[in-house]
Amino acid sequence: MSSIDKSGTYRLGDRSVKRLGYGAMQLAGPGVFGPPKDRAQAVAVLRAAVAAGVDHIDTSNFYGPHVTNEIIREALHPYPASLTIVTKVGGKRGSDGSWLKADAPDELRSAVHDNLRNIGLDALDVVNMRFMFDPHRPAEGPVEPQIEALAELQQQGLIRHIGVSHVTSAQIKAARRITDVVCVQNHYNLVHRDDDALIDELAAEGIAYVPYFPLGGFSPLQSDTLNALAGQLGVTPMQLALAWLLRRSPNILLIPGTSSLHHLEENLAAATIELDAATLAALDAIGRA
């Protein structure tokens, strides 16, 4: 399994984590609903990730639901002291697999306790508050009730750090008036560049930015230019897209997910890819187009 020691580290709460982490969403069944086809393989992928040096895992109790958290516990508990597990609250799954908002203060308290129980922790390292004012893009709306509820749980010692997800710059500022925000998790990748200015703004503040769907999510990245550049370098297009993200800004933490040992190794190897100025310029141009 490839090492990830060349990817560098960045601050996440009170720890420094390697910039290439792992997202557990794909360990659940199709549509992130129900159990995986091969639970033993899911366990093996998690163990291989940690063995390769991954020290930042992203999950949520509404993946499955409960499935990814339970697999993480089966695979890795008792957890290495260096491992940071980040979860998120603010949603739930319907019986048909639908994604539903669940952000009332009592729902958030229940979600935090569910995560604690299913992951097997006394306190959660980081909890991201996922806002759903618009399911497709961040949209303005009040964040104070939810952040205040999480801050209360933080004061009780159940949460160490708080992050926000699917948010605007104004919402981040509003959340930071209530408590420290250690990370922002929004949609961003080589071709989805709406948060370019926000990433630079957060970097100046020392706040981690964690792009979800770094490889395009349910619709993988498609670009003839990306394919051609990857071929010239002898890497896969997805490896090149991850390598670009690592070069985009030092505060970007990556959480690509997979249920395949082969793809895990490919993802981690992206940290070793060197990009010259001409390649970076060509990749940047994809997003501007």
Is the pLDDT at 111 greater than 50, yes or no? Answer: yes
C-alpha triplet 284, 288, 289: angle, nearest 5°: 115
Mean pLDDT over residues 117-126, rounded?
98
Mean pLDDT over residues 22-44, rounded?
97
**Quick one: tokens of 54?**
């991954």
Catalytic-labelled residue, pool 63, 188, 209, 212: 63
Q: Which of 120, 63, 123 is closest to 88 using CA atoms?
A: 63
Query: What percentage of residues in the chain have a pLDDT greater than 70?
Result: 98
Mean pLDDT over residues 278-284, rounded?
96
Spell 37-64 as b/e; 16+ CB within 10 A means b. eeeeebbebbebbbebbbbbbbbbbbbb
Domains detected in the chain: 5-288 (3.20.20.100)
Is the pLDDT at 199 greater than 50, yes or no? Answer: yes
How high is the pLDDT of residue 6? 52
Range scoring the smallest mean pLDDT among 1-10, 58-67, 124-133: 1-10
63 catalytically annotated: yes
Q: What is the pTM of this model?
A: 0.96
How high is the pLDDT of residue 2? 41
Residue 159 near residue 113, CB atoms below 8 Å = no
Mean pLDDT over residues 49-55, rounded?
98
How high is the pLDDT of residue 7? 62
How high is the pLDDT of residue 289? 73
Is the pLDDT at 280 greater than 60, yes or no? Answer: yes
Residue 127 near residue 179, CB atoms below 8 Å = no
How high is the pLDDT of residue 42? 98
How high is the pLDDT of residue 1? 45
Is the pLDDT at 47 greater than 90, yes or no? Answer: yes
C-alpha triplet 14, 242, 64: angle, nearest 5°: 70
Is the pLDDT at 167 greater than 70, yes or no? Answer: yes
Task: Measure CA 22 to chain center.
Answer: 7
- The Cα–Cα gap between 289 and 268 comes to 28
